[in-house]
A and B are shown apart, each in its own frame.
Chain A
């Protein structure tokens, strides 16, 4: 068993993991337009959620997500596969969101911090869940920006550590370490709440 695990993990994990979107991209590059629709359906929710961390308003997130998909459509023919399709599209989404923030800076009453990505989204549904869920979400909101980003991308968007690292502009090892400290701090916050 250990030898199998060693065999598997001795190779670059990214090479082992097959990009599930790769086939769609190849079909699109071969001229099949509908392959892009499948990609949109598959990733629009994740991209929308990622963009919402920047722009705060649902309607704005929808607009920016649409722009991001249009840019992805135009660039997909030249996609080379250096990263996974998902992280490539998420990177486009982040760039579009940053552009949107820059263009709408004056309209935003509150200052956009550099860590806007990791600010808590004050969605109404956050208050709807059970008490435990609300406590957990509140605890997530207290995490340091980088740890929060890594945790959310990993847990809620199901990204690999490699993809998280690409989006968080850090090394894969740093992403893993940030993830560990995010979980640890979350536990500390929850235990502190329970004791209090």
Chain B
């Protein structure tokens, strides 16, 4: 910061030398080595004396009446400090601690969940042996072409299991090569009423068209 000319502090020096710091005083005193400036110092002191000698022009105000009016308005009770006033110095510390706690919790939440997994423990399978495992793949879809229409068919877990079967061990009918004879529909006659009702119910269920060329068939309908 550029140093101000010392003459700018002359009046303050004359009127209140105690209110200037050491550097300010030194600058003014250096400036006062000039006799012309000492004359200005005297003139400044003179006009300040004149100003302070001016008579008080405050009109006659009933100060006692004003004091009484103030007293009447504020009453006799000294106001109490608010509860938070006592804790005003502790409040920033509380706020800081709260912020730190929030940051800590946020950092904990962002940590990799794998870190929190307990170590792998080999233990006996609690599931009974006779209960088959259940597999479910929600996004399993198979599209088949049937009567000129694309059908999207949901695979079942059981189909997955079937796919994993070793078919070499399954006995094969040599005559049909494992396929059902198209003309052999005699098995329909063997169906009981419940089976027919279920079949009719499945066939009556509406088939939703998928966006595109295929159709979507409910899983239970297959």
Residues of A at the B interface (CB closer than 8 Å) are: 5-6, 8-10, 13, 16, 28-29, 31-33, 36-37, 40-41, 44-45, 48-49, 58, 62, 65-66, 69-70, 73-74, 76-78, 123-126, 128-129, 132-133, 136-137, 140, 151, 154-156, 160-162, 173, 176-177, 179-184, 186-187, 190
Task: Decide if B74 is an interface residue (CB 8 Å cutoff).
Answer: yes
Task: Decide if B73 is an interface residue (CB 8 Å cutoff).
Answer: yes
Structural contact, A28 and B78, CB atoms closer than 8 A = yes
A contacts with B: majority SS: helix
Task: Decide if B79 is an interface residue (CB 8 Å cutoff).
Answer: yes
B residues within 8 A CB of A33?
Answer: 76-78
Task: Decide if B63 is an interface residue (CB 8 Å cutoff).
Answer: yes
Interface CB pairs A-B, < 8 A, 9:
A77-B81, A125-B59, A129-B57, A155-B48, A177-B8, A180-B7, A183-B47, A184-B11, A187-B47
* Beyond A136-B54, A181-B8, 20 extra complex contacts between A and B, CB < 8 Å: A9-B25, A10-B21, A16-B18, A33-B77, A33-B78, A41-B67, A44-B67, A45-B58, A77-B78, A123-B57, A125-B59, A126-B57, A155-B51, A173-B4, A176-B12, A176-B19, A176-B20, A180-B11, A183-B44, A186-B47
Task: Decide if B145 is an interface residue (CB 8 Å cutoff).
Answer: no
Knowing A9-B21, A179-B12 are in contact, say whether A133-B74 is a contact too (CB < 8 A). Answer: no
Structural contact, A180 and B66, CB atoms closer than 8 A = no
Structural contact, B19 and A162, CB atoms closer than 8 A = yes
Structural contact, A136 and B66, CB atoms closer than 8 A = no
Q: Contact partner of A66 among B15, B18, B69, CB < 8 A?
A: B69
Complex Cα distance A173/B52, Å?
22
Q: Contact partner of B20 among A9, A40, A41, CB < 8 A?
A: A9
Structural contact, A31 and B78, CB atoms closer than 8 A = yes
Complex Cα distance A78/B76, Å?
18
Question: Which chain B residue has the least Cβ–Cβ distance from A75?
Answer: B79
Question: Which chain B residue has the least Cβ–Cβ distance from A49?
Answer: B58
Structural contact, A32 and B78, CB atoms closer than 8 A = yes
Q: Contact partner of B19 among A62, A70, A78, A161, CB < 8 A?
A: A161
A residues within 8 A CB of B74?
Answer: 36, 69-70, 73-74
Structural contact, A74 and B79, CB atoms closer than 8 A = yes
Complex Cα distance A70/B9, Å?
38
Structural contact, B9 and A177, CB atoms closer than 8 A = yes
Knowing A155-B48, A181-B8 are in contact, say whether A70-B67 is a contact too (CB < 8 A). Answer: no
A residues within 8 A CB of B59?
Answer: 58, 123-125
Knowing A45-B58, A177-B9 are in contact, say whether A136-B81 is a contact too (CB < 8 A). Answer: no
Interface string of B18-49 (1 = CB under 8 A from A): 11111011000000000000000001100110
Structural contact, A183 and B78, CB atoms closer than 8 A = no
Complex Cα distance A31/B25, Å?
43
Q: Contact partner of B81 among A48, A78, A173, CB < 8 A?
A: A78
Complex Cα distance A129/B50, Å?
13
Structural contact, B8 and A62, CB atoms closer than 8 A = no
A residues within 8 A CB of B48?
Answer: 155, 183
A residues within 8 A CB of B24?
Answer: 176
Task: Decide if B208 is an interface residue (CB 8 Å cutoff).
Answer: no
Structural contact, A154 and B15, CB atoms closer than 8 A = yes
Task: Decide if B154 is an interface residue (CB 8 Å cutoff).
Answer: no
Structural contact, B63 and A45, CB atoms closer than 8 A = yes
- Min distance, Cβ B51 to any Cβ of chain A, angstroms: 5
- Min distance, Cβ B26 to any Cβ of chain A, angstroms: 9
Q: Contact partner of A180 among B12, B21, B63, B76, CB < 8 A?
A: B12
Q: Contact partner of B18 among A8, A73, A123, CB < 8 A?
A: A8
Structural contact, B69 and A48, CB atoms closer than 8 A = no
